[in-house]
Structure formats: structure tokens, C-alpha cells
Chain A
Amino acid sequence: MNSLKRKQPPVFAVEKVVIPEAGFVKLNNGVPVFCIEAGTEDIMRLEFVFRAGQVKEPLPLVSSSTNMMLTEGSQNYSSEELNRLLDFYGVFQNSSASKDNGGVVFFFLNKHIEKVLELSREILFRPVFPEEELRSLMNKRLQWYLVNREKVQNIATDNFFQSVFGKDHPYGRNVAEVDFEAINTALVTDFHSKHYTSENMTIIISGRIHEKTTELLNTYFGEPISKKTDTAGPVKNLRGETGKKLHTDKPGAVQSAIRIGSPTINKRHPDYPALKILDSVLGGYFGSRLMKNIREEKGYTYGISSSVSSLDLSGFKLISTEVGQKNLQKSIDEIYKEIRLLQNVPVGKEEMKVVRNYMSGEMVRMFDGPFALAESFKAVWEFGLDNSYYHTLAEKIKTIEPDEITEIARTYYNIDDLYEITVGSE
């Protein structure tokens, strides 16, 4: 047996990225429901999405506070009862408000579906927003905020968005201590009545879908729509700050945080798949150039990454890391050096192959199992796109040429356009 030659086994191209189409039904009142049948267990992921993100809020914290207050008491249940019942039926519930959307996801065993639907209707459509619960939530949130402001990475990310999207736009503006006091039940109730409406709702279900599932959804969510939805478009005055460099002093910080990036195209743009591939090469995976150079060669950091993200009104690319103070400038210089390299020297054959195959593997993971499938579906649906985005991306991963990556780096990574945000002790 010792004669085994430890030669690399053959490498098979990852071809079989199966992207199933979601089923579609409408409830009696027209609410769209997307259905993704997958997995081996009798479970369900049930997501309610509303266009109720930060972009719609009149003041900071309104969208997230409204979202968090949904479980703080309804017409038929107190907050304590709601939380106890969700736990009693083994439900995992995840409420969130992002820059564009707000909503709730429930994970549960199908045997409890009726109870979950009844409770979710209470949570989404019958909340009462008690004054005392709201004050208590805002006091807690203020404490969490103060702790988070101690972290260089949080300050840096907040400053990044403010620089990139401007302090007058909900995508950009920073939260301040006084904002926590400004939130009151009138604001929350108003935001809820305008944005958490049936007309404004989409349902995404995945897991094991039974014959009766749609019927049950109709029973709890199919009633005729009565509320008026706010159809006003979002504020569009996205305007970044003129100064590209911003340093914030954080005395005593052991590491400095770096955020470098700028606004960019989003998923709706035809260059987006190529930009995603460029991003992978730069800092999108463990074998990326930034990771190899700044962590694996120089040991300046525990981790560095880059990402490209889409928003409804824009998109952004962002390089993030935390490094020792003494390596701050050296790390920034290396980041720019890596960007310039990508603009001037075509990616070699071997590296192209690694990136193509790694990204193909990632695509397999993106469509593996009911939870990943639902998230991938939502990630295109919210931009008005469908699976053709993924088919285009998969094709681009296979066929992109090094010259195109160079071209994309020149078009979208103009160094003069990049914001450079740092936080640390001077």
C-alpha cells in the first residue's frame, strides 16, 4: 500500500449547477406567493417581504424599530404571549429591515403551520405598538448602539455609507444618540400602516410544500385589501461626500479599521456578473489576491475581503479589513497596488481556472437546500430579475477572458473615485 503515489486526482469541471424555477400562485387578494419545493425534512421557511426598508423612513431608526415592534403585542396577544407561543411551537423567527426591504422569516415544522400562520398574521397585520414596549425597546437599542460605537469596524462601516451615499439620504445617514428619543408610537404606527400592507407584501415559501399550503395561506392572508399603501417613490438624492478620505480617531484602539470603496452598478446592469468575477479575484474568497497578499504573505490582518452589493437605487463595492496600527498605511498601499495590477496585467491562466471553478462551486452551494434556494431567489426577485441572472452569471464564469476583467477593473475601479475610510488610534 505504501506504493500509493500521492498524485492529484483528476479535476472535473463543475457543470451541474441546477437552478430550479420557483412556482408561483396568487392569493385571492392578489398577494404573490413564490413556492420552492426542496429538502428532505417536513419543514418550512416562510418569508414575508415588504418594501419597508430604511429608504422609506422619514427619520433614522423608524423602519428597524417598526420591524422590531411587530412582535411586541398585537390585538389578541401580549408581547410575552407572542414570544412564548413562537418558542412553544419551536419556531425560529428572524425579523429584519434592510436598506430597501423589511419583513419577517419564520422557520418551523410543518405540523405547526396553522398556528404559525395565525401568529404571523397577528404579528404582521395586527400589532398595537404599546408605548411602554416601545420606550423599553428604544432604551435597549440605545445601549446596544453605544456598545457598537466602541467597535472600530462599526464606526468605519457607518462612515463608509455616509460618505458614499451622503448624509441626507436614508442609505447614508448615520444614527445619533438623539434619534433614539425621537421615535414615538405615532411614527411607528404610521410607518406600519403605510408599508406593511397586503398590497405591498410578497410571500416566499420553501421546504416541503403540501397540497393544503396555499389554501391555508389564503385563509390567513387572502382577505380583500382595505388599507392604503403609500406608493410614493423613494428619495433619490443620492450624493456622496466630496472628501474621499475620512479618518476618525478612536483612542486606545488596538487595530485600525479600513473601508475602501464607492457606489457602483447593481444587478440590473449587464456588466454586473463580470464585476462579481473581478471582485472574487480581488478579495472575494480565501484564495483572493488581497487575502493572499495582506494575510497570507504579510500577516498584517486576520482577514480582509472585498464585496460587491446591490441596492434598489444603487450598488456599492467595499474592501474591509482590520489591521494593526503600524501596518495601516502599508495595508492601504497594498490594496491600491492590487487594484492597479488588475487594471494593468491580465489575470493568468491558472488563476482564471481557480476562480472559475471556485465560483462554480459557490453556485452549487447557493442552490443547495430549501434555505439557500429561497435566499438566492429573493436576491434576484427584489431587483425585478429572475433566474436568467444566474444563468448569465454561470455562463460568464465559464467564458470570461482575462482582457475583459482588466477592462472591468479600469471602468469600475477608478482609484480616484474610491472613498478611503479609516478608524483607529493615531
Chain B
Amino acid sequence: MINFDQFTLDNGLRVLVHEDKSTPLVAMNILYNVGSRDEDPDSTGLAHLFEHLMFGGSVNIPDYDKPLQMVGGENNAFTSNDITNYYLTIPSENIETGFWLESDRMLELDFSQKNLDTQKNVVIEEFNQRYLNQPYGDALLKIRPLAYKVHPYRWPTIGMDISHVENTSLDKIKKFFFSHYAPNNAILSLTGNIGYDLAGRLTRKWFGPIEKREVQARNLPPEPDQNEERTTTIEKDLPSDALYKAWHIGPRKGSDFFTLDLITDLLAGGESGRLNTKLVREKKLFSDINAYITSDIDPGLIFIQGKLMKNINFQQAEEAVNEVIMSLTDKNGIKDEMEKVKNKFESSTVFSNTSILNKAVNLAYNELLGNAENINLEVDAYRRITQDMVVEAIRRYFVPSNCSTLYYKSTRKDK
């Protein structure tokens, strides 16, 4: 149970505070309600590039990192399709420095051409390192536009094409900042060794004076239903074939989100997941295989992906995957495994909550979804899932016409 206090400033900034005296540290998390789905299709990758620029100095502070390091702090950030999230941990005696730094960059960035030019290069190297220079690293870049034809989820956070990042200008950056970075478009969470009174006083002092901004309204085109099987093939000189399959699912706040999450746990949770047990251990068709949901706010995807063993062809592999999925519709056959994945979910929630940083990130994210209190209800929501709900969801989503498949084919002779 995570107890927390919450309030909203006049400028619209939502604040969540959870005190945990067992640590000498405080975690501070700021979630901005902007992600790659908010980008213009002609200028993708901007939200993520922007995350980099946020460390290049703000209107009153030329260097973000140095003063934070000076007080023993550490920080990082991530960008997803839906959000841009910044966090830091800091010894509690110096928490005010965190407020000073974070409020200043919410107030206004120091938009420097030099910083923009350098960070463009850094992001291009990030793109090369993560996607181009890894075996199979571009698979997810290729399968998104297969599954999504209209919705902005069709491009990845790094950008649809790296030239979008290369070609962006300081003007675009400024416009992006003032239309998305605003107290009324952010959620601040504080966890760890900080009392409610101090948290309230420092928040009002540093964030209170920032004025509300006009936030660009979100009006995203919904993805039409997929009515036919979609496939694509990549050929490369790599050691083995790999199979990627994605099915459309509902939104994060949909009633079957946890059911789908549980289904991926039945399939691939822990060493004893069904895909691993049947296809890696028993039948030896794959060297590894995984299943997960994207947890996107708008309707997302459920993925199954794996690398094939030598001398196994795609047809064998795919049939076997489908067989495992359909085996979950045997209601009585999954009873014990349901109990297993529920126990594991509970345990993983307890472990996640031993970290003040995880608590800060999760509180802010739950608040964005509608109610921070849900952080305490997840285990129950997951426990309430019945065998019937699993069977129903399998039948609804795992149909061929809802599926996009990427065949990553090895051209190596001795594969």
C-alpha cells in the first residue's frame, strides 16, 4: 500500500507526494503529457530529440547536470509514444536544488543552436547504436508501419526517418516547447525522505510562479480496424531466422488491459511460460521467444517474437506459436497457471515498490491515466481476472485478420 498526498497548483500542475523515511534519498519525477504520438508526420522524432535538449541548460541555469552532480544527485529521462518522463534522485538535504533545476527548465529552455546541433548528432548515433548496429535491431521499426496505417504509433520514438531529426530547426523546437511543456500538462511526483509540508512549500515556491500555457489540443486519427493479414519480409546476413507477430488490442484504460497482460504472462512470464516450455524446451523450435503488450494509452499491440533454431522453417514455427496461443482457450487447462502468474504479479509489484524511483514514476503515470490511487488497486484488478475472460480475449484478438507478421530471414548458408 502506497500512501500519498496530492494537490494541484493554480497553474494546473498536479503534485503527488509519498513519504518513505527508510531512505536518505528523495526521488523527483516529472511526467510531461507529450510523446511521439503528438508529432507532426513530417517532423517525427521531435519529442525524443527534445528530451535530449532538456539537459542543455535552461533560462537561468546554463548547465543542468553540473549543479545536480554538485549536490550528489543523479538523473535520467525517457520518451515513449505517449509521454516524456524526467527523473532524479538526490540526498534529501539537497532536494531544493532539484526543485530549482526542474522548475527552471519548465519555465523556459535556453534554446541554443550549438546544443541543438550536437544533440542531433548524439541522437543519430543513438539511432545507429540501438537500431542499425544491432542484429535484428530494425525489426520493430519495420513492423510498426505494417500494423498502423494512420495512427502516429506507426513511427517509433526515435523518428520515422532519421532525416526528420537532421532537418529540424530551432524554431520548430521552440514551438514544440511552448505548446507541450507547461505546468498544466505535467505531473510532479515526489517520493522518499520528504515530508508533505516541505514538499508542498517547495512546490509552490518554485513551480507556483510558472504561468499556465495554451497546450496544443490532441486530436489523433484513430487506427481503422485491420481486416486482412499483413506480412513483410526482411533478408539479411544474420545467424538465424526470426519471427515477429503483432495483433491489435484495446487501449491502456480498456477493460481487458490486465487480461491481456496476464495472457502475455501465461505465454512468456518467467522460465515456465508456455511458449518457452513448449517451443524452446520441448519442441526445440526457437532459441528464445517472448510475448508482451505495448501498454500504449491509445489502442496498442500484443507482440510475440522469437528466433528460430537451425533447420526450422517459418511455417513450422508459426503453426506451433498459434497452437500454443489456442491451447490457452482450454479453460480448465489454464487454472493452475492463472494462480501462478497472479502470485508472480503480486510479488513483482512488491519488489517494484521497494524502489522510491519506481514508486515516483508509477504514481505519476497512474495519475496521467486518470487516478494515482489505481497504483494500489493493480494487484486486485489482476487477481480478479477469470479463466473465461482469458478465453474470451484470446478468441477476440488472436485472429489472423488482426495480425501483422514480419519474417526476418537469414541469408546465411549454414544457418
- Do these two chains really belong together in a complex? yes
Taking Cβ atoms with an 8 Å cutoff, the residues of A that contact B are: 1-2, 4, 6, 8-12, 14, 16, 18, 38-41, 43, 71, 79-80, 83-84, 86-92, 107-109, 136, 139-140, 143-144, 146-147, 149-152, 252-255, 285-287, 295-303, 322-324, 353-355, 357-358, 360-362, 364-365, 368-371
What residues of chain B lie closer than 8 Å to A370, measured between beta carbons? Answer: 354
Q: Give Cα distance in the complex from A136 to B67, angstroms.
A: 53
State the main secondary structure of chain A at its contact with B. Answer: mixed
B281 touches A255 (CB 8 A): no
A9 touching B100 in the complex, CB below 8 Å, given contacts A88-B343, A90-B348, A361-B73: yes
Instruction: Mark each residue of chain B from 117 to 145: 1 if its CB lies under 8 Å from any CB of chain A, else 0.
Output: 11111100110111011111000000000
A365 to chain B, nearest CB (A): 7
Q: Give Cα distance in the complex from A170 to B287, angstroms.
A: 27
Taking Cβ atoms with an 8 Å cutoff, the residues of B that contact A are: 20, 22-25, 60-61, 65-67, 69-74, 89-91, 93-94, 96-97, 99-100, 103-104, 107, 117-122, 125-126, 128-130, 132-136, 205-206, 208-209, 237-240, 269-272, 277, 280-281, 284, 287-288, 307, 309-310, 336, 339-341, 343-344, 346-348, 350-351, 353-355
B74 touches A253 (CB 8 A): no
A45 to chain B, nearest CB (A): 10
| A6, A109, A254, A287: the one within 8 Å of B69 (CB) | A287
* CB-CB nearest in chain A for B117: A299
Q: Give Cα distance in the complex from A381 to B206, angstroms.
A: 45
Pull 19 A–B residue pairs with CB atoms less than 8 Å apart, ordered by A. A6-B104, A8-B61, A87-B343, A88-B343, A108-B347, A143-B287, A144-B288, A147-B239, A149-B239, A287-B69, A298-B118, A299-B118, A302-B122, A302-B128, A357-B71, A358-B69, A361-B71, A368-B23, A370-B354
Q: Give Cα distance in the complex from A86 to B270, angstroms.
A: 9
A80 touches B277 (CB 8 A): yes
Q: Give Cα distance in the complex from A253 to B209, angstroms.
A: 50
What residues of chain B lie closer than 8 Å to A360, measured between beta carbons? Answer: 72, 91
B272 touches A286 (CB 8 A): no
B164 to chain A, nearest CB (A): 17
A90 touches B24 (CB 8 A): no
What residues of chain A lie closer than 8 Å to B135, measured between beta carbons? Answer: 147, 150-151
A150 touching B239 in the complex, CB below 8 Å, given contacts A87-B344, A90-B343, A369-B23: yes
B74 touches A39 (CB 8 A): no
Q: Give Cα distance in the complex from A369 to B24, angstroms.
A: 10
Most buried by B among A2, A144, A146, A322: A146
A353 touches B122 (CB 8 A): no
A299 touches B270 (CB 8 A): no
Q: Give Cα distance in the complex from A324 to B127, angstroms.
A: 11
B270 to chain A, nearest CB (A): 4
A299 touches B120 (CB 8 A): yes
**CB-based closest 3 A-B pairs:** A361-B72, A299-B121, A90-B347
What residues of chain A lie closer than 8 Å to B70, measured between beta carbons? Answer: 11, 353-354, 357-358
Number of A-B contacts (CB under 8 A): 216
B102 to chain A, nearest CB (A): 12
* CB-CB nearest in chain B for A299: B121
| A8, A14, A91, A149: the one within 8 Å of B91 (CB) | A14
What residues of chain A lie closer than 8 Å to B205, measured between beta carbons? Answer: 4
B343 touches A89 (CB 8 A): yes
B271 touches A300 (CB 8 A): no
What residues of chain A lie closer than 8 Å to B107, measured between beta carbons? Answer: 6
A255 touches B128 (CB 8 A): yes
B272 touches A151 (CB 8 A): no
What residues of chain A lie closer than 8 Å to B125, measured between beta carbons? Answer: 255, 299-302, 322-324
B103 to chain A, nearest CB (A): 8
Q: Give Cα distance in the complex from A6 to B91, angstroms.
A: 21
What residues of chain A lie closer than 8 Å to B240, measured between beta carbons? Answer: 143, 146-147
| B25, B103, B280: the one within 8 Å of A140 (CB) | B280
B307 touches A147 (CB 8 A): yes
What residues of chain B lie closer than 8 Å to A354, measured between beta carbons? Answer: 66, 69-70
A87 touches B340 (CB 8 A): yes
| B23, B126, B310, B351: the one within 8 Å of A107 (CB) | B351
* CB-CB nearest in chain B for A353: B70
Q: Give Cα distance in the complex from A136 to B284, angstroms.
A: 8
Q: Give Cα distance in the complex from A88 to B266, angstroms.
A: 12
A87 touching B271 in the complex, CB below 8 Å, given contacts A299-B120, A368-B24: yes
A83 touches B74 (CB 8 A): no
A8 touches B69 (CB 8 A): no
| A1, A80, A108, A365: the one within 8 Å of B89 (CB) | A365
What residues of chain A lie closer than 8 Å to B280, measured between beta carbons? Answer: 140
Given contacts A6-B104, A86-B271, 5 further A-B contacts (CB under 8 A): A9-B96, A151-B133, A287-B69, A361-B91, A368-B23
Most buried by A among B70, B104, B280: B70
What residues of chain B lie closer than 8 Å to A353, measured between beta carbons? Answer: 70
Most buried by A among B89, B93, B120, B136: B93
A71 touches B271 (CB 8 A): yes
| A8, A88, A143, A358: the one within 8 Å of B340 (CB) | A88
Most buried by A among B91, B126, B350: B91
* CB-CB nearest in chain A for B63: A287
B287 touches A140 (CB 8 A): yes
B122 touches A295 (CB 8 A): yes
A11 touches B23 (CB 8 A): no
Q: Give Cα distance in the complex from A70 to B46, angstroms.
A: 48
Most buried by B among A83, A255, A361: A361
A290 to chain B, nearest CB (A): 14
What residues of chain B lie closer than 8 Å to A255, measured between beta carbons? Answer: 125, 128-129, 132-133
Q: Give Cα distance in the complex from A296 to B239, angstroms.
A: 36
A8 touching B209 in the complex, CB below 8 Å, given contacts A83-B272, A140-B287, A354-B70: no
Q: Give Cα distance in the complex from A371 to B134, angstroms.
A: 31
What residues of chain B lie closer than 8 Å to A371, measured between beta carbons? Answer: 354
* CB-CB nearest in chain B for A38: B22
What residues of chain B lie closer than 8 Å to A296, measured between beta carbons? Answer: 118, 122
What residues of chain A lie closer than 8 Å to B209, measured between beta carbons? Answer: 1-2, 4
A299 touching B122 in the complex, CB below 8 Å, given contacts A1-B208, A358-B72: yes
B93 to chain A, nearest CB (A): 4
What residues of chain A lie closer than 8 Å to B117, measured between beta carbons? Answer: 299
Q: Give Cα distance in the complex from A80 to B277, angstroms.
A: 7
What residues of chain B lie closer than 8 Å to A355, measured between beta carbons? Answer: 69
What residues of chain B lie closer than 8 Å to A302, measured between beta carbons? Answer: 122, 125-126, 128-130
What residues of chain B lie closer than 8 Å to A18, measured between beta carbons? Answer: 24
Q: Give Cα distance in the complex from A94 to B129, angstroms.
A: 27
| B130, B132, B340: the one within 8 Å of A84 (CB) | B340
Q: Give Cα distance in the complex from A192 to B132, angstroms.
A: 41
What residues of chain B lie closer than 8 Å to A91, measured between beta carbons? Answer: 347
What residues of chain A lie closer than 8 Å to B237, measured between beta carbons? Answer: 252
Q: Give Cα distance in the complex from A368 to B23, angstroms.
A: 6
B379 to chain A, nearest CB (A): 11
| B22, B336, B340: the one within 8 Å of A40 (CB) | B22
| B93, B118, B122, B270: the one within 8 Å of A87 (CB) | B270
Most buried by B among A38, A87, A140, A150: A87
A109 touches B347 (CB 8 A): yes
B354 touches A11 (CB 8 A): no
| A89, A143, A361: the one within 8 Å of B90 (CB) | A361
What residues of chain B lie closer than 8 Å to A4, measured between beta carbons? Answer: 205-206, 209
* CB-CB nearest in chain B for A135: B284
* CB-CB nearest in chain B for A108: B347
B72 touches A357 (CB 8 A): yes
Q: Give Cα distance in the complex from A1 to B210, angstroms.
A: 9
